[in-house]
Amino acid sequence: MNLVRTSDLLMERVIPLARKYGISAPASNVLGILEGAGRRSPRVISQRALFTHPATVTGLLDSLRNVA
């Protein structure tokens, strides 16, 4: 239960910060994965994200490219 609570507390801080920069919570998760792992394929990112399909990751990467 502590892990779930920690995740909730983290998301309470991440979501407003992500919105400030015009990105979604899943996109911020992708950024975190890229920061920790460097350049990776959408398939590898989706495996690490544990919540999305490689095609969705491709869309998130495209949207992040548009924000930058």
The predicted-structure confidence for 12-37, as pLDDT tens digits, reads as follows 888 888 888 888 888 888 888 888 87
In the chain, DSSP finds a helix count (H) and a strand count (E) of: 4, 0
pLDDT beyond 80 at 46? yes
Q: What is the pTM of this model?
A: 0.65
Number of domains observed in the structure of the chain = 1
Q: Which residue has the tokens 């979604």?
A: 24
Structure tokens at 50: 């544990």
Length of the chain: 68
Range of the domain at 17: 2-67
Helix (H) or strand (E) holding 1: none
Which of 29, 32, 57, 28 lies closest to 42, judged by CA?
A: 57
pLDDT beyond 70 at 1? no
